[in-house]
Structure 1
């Protein structure tokens, strides 16, 4: 029962204090080296996954002074990750993946000129089936101004939909959840009507889901992020996890699982992005550890080995 204790909203600072007091620092940390990207940065990566029979990492690729990014698919060659020659390049940010009925689904964030604020960008989450990557045609576009939209197939074959509305419903960004029977049932109405998971974020802070793991008992292990601004306007992003029961809607407290100081030193895209760790993916191991892949300071991609944050929920 203690695992399911939900003690109410905690701030980034409070969650960080709990993490630091717990002493669960990573066992290992390294920068992931990418080659052949012509002076551009690679960050906000996925964990490795299989695409067309080969292990790949998808990453956000862009110049240090730009927000115009592309998603590349990389393969490992002699310890360095290089662009896979026959994979598409997608004009998106922040890649992710899942599998629905055995089919690989790739997603990312599409940007476009904001319809109301000249000079600013709007964004939406888009999804591609593996079969549609060649012609670069998404099978679904999420609502305008919504990032961090994620899908997961549950034990019974139905599909969980995690949302992150902003504005009147979600403030700076809160997590919602809905359930659909099949992929064809996914719609803008389903996403807009998804109830929020109340009691997770302060109104002045925000967060979202990055990757969903179906645990052996049917619970959902959520890898996400929680973020805030400080008084100087600097951003602070932390990888966090919680567990969600798709049957009851019950969820555990969030836990921060790493911070910027746990990773190797490196550059930042801008001074206000120094303390940013953006969760990419988690590879769980049978020995009770897990590898966290993350974007660092909007400039690099790193990996750390940590204690598996979901293992206790499967006992």
Structure 2
């Protein structure tokens, strides 16, 4: 498999490029009701189901990591839980469609046997179905792996993005493999994915959050990249890159949004203030797109910005 060589850039180097570009953006905060005093963040992009717009969101107490994933619908500019709909004890939802079937994923936290408040691991869980009300579990990721994402490719096969850590993936790298059907989505598939070695420097990390099939058959990947500063605070940015699924060649990562794009607001913890989490992207007309993000692990926003995938379709 061929690769076009390029120098791996740090978060700070990519930020310099990001802030040097002039761009027009429009920001909207999402308002939620029906979940008590809990925060809603790390939302997906909206999709249409039974004629109405739906999003998934992580719902959580400010001082807790134990969350639920809700399906929300829009009523009078407020997002409310979809009526009579099952919730999932998961974090960080994702959604896609494979051969017309709805695929929903999220991260289940695993607690210590002697301490139900102590999180010791996590597993990404996947559900499938043609209707929200009839989803069934069909696959689980390996222990300690978040940011697993799926996409139906131009030839009908399924692309699988992974995010190994530890000995194989450091703080978090992106892997990719291709399978013929959802029945092949198992732990071996996730663990054997090829890892892209040139996207992040060793001290930094990132992951895929959503994948888009582009007009040329390539895959536009929406994700996040992150780093620590000298004080140990985390900094997360929205980023994109393009993948040729025929050769596994990727383009360099580029940052498309930062916490500074959004108003000052509450955060889950002080070290998470400069964090945004890419939830999903809707490509629109006239070279624009709308990005859905979680902000500071406490709020949900949308930002309209230049379509970051257009250049990959040239």
TM-score (norm 1): 0.94
Q: CA deviation at 1:132?
A: 8.2
Q: Shift of the alpha carbon at 1:264?
A: 2.0
Give runs of aligned pairs for residues 1-315 of structure 1, distance below 5 A. 6-24=5-23, 26-114=24-112, 119-130=118-129, 134=133, 137-315=136-314
Distance 1:185 1:83 in 2: 33
Q: Deviations over 1:56-95 (max 9, x none)?
A: 1100000101111000111110111111112211100001
Residue 134 of structure 1 deviates from its aligned partner by: 4.6
1:34-67 CA-partner distances (Å, limit 9, x unpaired): 1121000000000101234421110000010111
- Please state whether the residue corresponding to 1:120 is helix, strand or coil: strand
Seen in structure 2, the aligned counterparts of structure 1 residues 51 and 132 have a Cα distance that, compared at 3 Å, is: closer
Report the more deviating stretch, 179-188 or 254-263.
179-188
Secondary structure at the counterpart of residue 313 of structure 1:
helix
TM-score of the two chains, using structure 2 as the length reference: 0.95
* Contact 1:115/1:122, CA 8 A, preserved across alignment: no
Which region of structure 1 is more displaced relative to structure 2, 112-121 or 265-274? 112-121
- Separation of aligned partners in 2, 1:7 and 1:114: 43
Higher deviation after alignment, 191-200 or 300-309: 191-200
- Secondary structure of 1:232's partner? coil
Whether the 8 Å CA contact 1:132–1:138 is kept in 2: the answer is: no
Cα distance in 1, alignment partners of residues 92 and 46 from structure 2: 14
How far has the Cα of 1:131 moved from its partner?
Answer: 5.2
Assess, with a 3 A threshold, how the Cα gap between structure 1 residues 235 and 115 changes in structure 2: closer, same or farther. Answer: farther
What is the distance in 1 between the residues matched to 2:313 and 2:8?
Answer: 24
Q: Please state which structure has a larger fraction of its residues in strand.
A: 2
Sort the Cα spacing of 1:104 and 1:135 in 2 relative to 1 into closer, same or farther, 3 A: closer
Q: Pick closer, same or farther for the CA change 1:14–1:179 going to 2, 3 Å.
A: same
For residues 5 and 129 of structure 1, the distance between their equivalents in structure 2, rounded to whole angstroms, comes to: 36
CA deviation after TM superposition for structure 1 residue 121, in Å: 3.0
Q: Which stretches of structure 1, 4 residues or longer, exceed 6 Å deviation after superposition?
A: 115-118
Evaluate the alpha carbon distance shift between residue 123 and residue 113 of structure 1 in structure 2; reply closer, same or farther with a 3 A threshold: same
Whether the 8 Å CA contact 1:96–1:106 is kept in 2: the answer is yes
Partner of 2:95, secondary structure, is: strand
- Residues 84 and 133 of structure 1: CA distance in aligned 2, closer, same or farther (over 3 Å): closer
Partners of 1:49 and 1:136 in 2: how far apart? 16
Gaps of 5+ in 2: none
- Give the count of matched residue pairs: 311
How far did 1:136 drift? 6.4
Offset of residue 137 of structure 1 = 4.3
CA distance in 1, matches of 2:129, 2:13: 41
Native 8 Å contact 2:109 2:119 kept in 1: no
Decide whether the 8 Å contact of 2:163 with 2:207 is kept in 1: yes
Does structure 2 retain, via aligned residues, the 8 Å contact 1:206–1:226?
yes
